[in-house]
Amino acid sequence: MSTMGFVSKGISAIIALAFLGVYAISVVEIRFGEPTYIMLSSIADAIFRDFVLAFEVLAILLFAALIGAVYLARKNGGDA
């Protein structure tokens, strides 16, 4: 193997170890507070009263994505 291969693998290993170290420190140092409980009815009220327009737009976008996926699957010879 060439010298460049060893250098690039060494740099990759150092970067991977750095990310692993940051992740490990993050997991060890995290402090959780007391759990907070939210009533499911308050979430439903927020979705269907305060954010109803965003909820409907998201539903339409997801439906359009579903139709597009079916179209692409049929175009490529799938049995969707």
Series of mean pLDDT values for 10-residue runs along the chain (80 residues): 75 95 92 85 86 92 96 74
Please report, as a single letter, which amino acid is at residue 26.
Answer: S
| CA 36 – CA 68 distance, rounded (Å) | 40
Where does 1-80 have alpha helices with state H?
3-29, 40-45, 52-75
Stated pTM of the model: 0.44
